[in-house]
């Protein structure tokens, strides 16, 4: 039996007595679709965290299905902002202190980021999100994720293309 990865995210979940499963993945930056294939779970159930910025205030983390893209207009309207923007991958890493592929709302709790989880998450009792580092995905209940991150749920994604 191999040791499961422990990091700040898994320790945080343990401390809050949240049921979760940690899934180890190859350590390169995997898209949500590749991650789903590795874990043999439906692609729609693996979510990615996209850093978005507003004109003023902290960035917003949009947690959306891996197969979809953030709809910045919908997100702005949902948050009551004039405009939301997508930073570059390097900017997102600088804003969060996390590597792209490992950006997770669970790793950024109490750091002042607002979290919006796409409505699609309501289709599942559990979803898979990054565990705060490359090579780690966390499977947990949608309700738990909402509670822990104090997230709001909104339709903020669209199909790619």
Q: Is residue 3 in a domain?
A: no
- According to the model, what pLDDT value does residue 1 have? 38
At 2 the pLDDT is 43
Quote the mean pLDDT of the chain.
92
Asked if pLDDT for residue 80 goes beyond 50, the answer is: yes
Identify the helix (H) or strand (E) that includes residue 147: helix 142-149
pLDDT above 80 (res 36): yes
Q: For residue 135, is it within any domain? A: yes
- Give the closest residue to 49 by CA, choosing from 37, 59, 39: 59
- Is it the case that residue 4 has pLDDT exceeding 90? no
Q: Which domain holds residue 18?
A: 8-159
Q: Tell me what pLDDT residue 26 has.
A: 80
Please indicate, yes or no, if residue 2 is contained in any of the structural domains.
Answer: no
- What average pLDDT score do residues 70-96 get? 97
- Residue range 85-110: mean pLDDT, rounded: 94
Q: Which CATH number do you get for residue 30?
A: 3.90.960.10
Q: Which of 30-34, 39-43, 79-83, 88-92 has the lowest mean pLDDT?
A: 30-34
pLDDT of 7 over the 60 cut:
yes
Evaluate whether residue 71 is within a structural domain: yes
Catalogue the E-assigned strands of 25-142: 47-54, 60-65, 68-70, 84-85, 114-118, 126-130, 136-141
- For residue 59, is it within any domain? yes
Per-residue pLDDT reduced to its tens digit, 102-153: 899 999 998 999 999 999 999 999 999 999 998 899 999 999 999 999 999 9
* Residue bearing the bigger pLDDT, 2 or 130: 130
Domain-located, residue 119? yes
Look at the chain and report how many structural domains it folds into: 1
* Percent of the chain scoring above 70 in pLDDT: 96
């Amino acid at each position: 039996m191999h040791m499961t990865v422990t990091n700040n995210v898994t320790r945080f979940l343990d401390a809050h007595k949240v049921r979760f499963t940690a899934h180890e993945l190859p350590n390169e930056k995997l898209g949500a679709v590749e991650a789903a294939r590795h874990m043999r779970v439906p692609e729609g159930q693996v979510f990615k965290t996209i850093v978005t910025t507003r004109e003023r205030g902290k960035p917003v983390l949009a947690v959306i299905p891996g197969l979809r893209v953030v709809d910045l207009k919908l997100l702005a309207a949902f948050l009551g902002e004039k405009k939301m923007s997508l930073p570059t991958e390097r900017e997102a890493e600088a804003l969060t202190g996390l590597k792209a592929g490992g950006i997770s709302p669970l790793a950024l709790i109490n750091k002042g980021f607002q979290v919006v989880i796409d409505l699609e998450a309501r289709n599942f009792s559990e979803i898979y999100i990054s565990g705060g580092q490359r090579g780690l995905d966390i499977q947990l209940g949608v309700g738990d994720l909402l509670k822990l991150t104090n997230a709001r749920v909104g339709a903020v994604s669209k199909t790619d293309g």
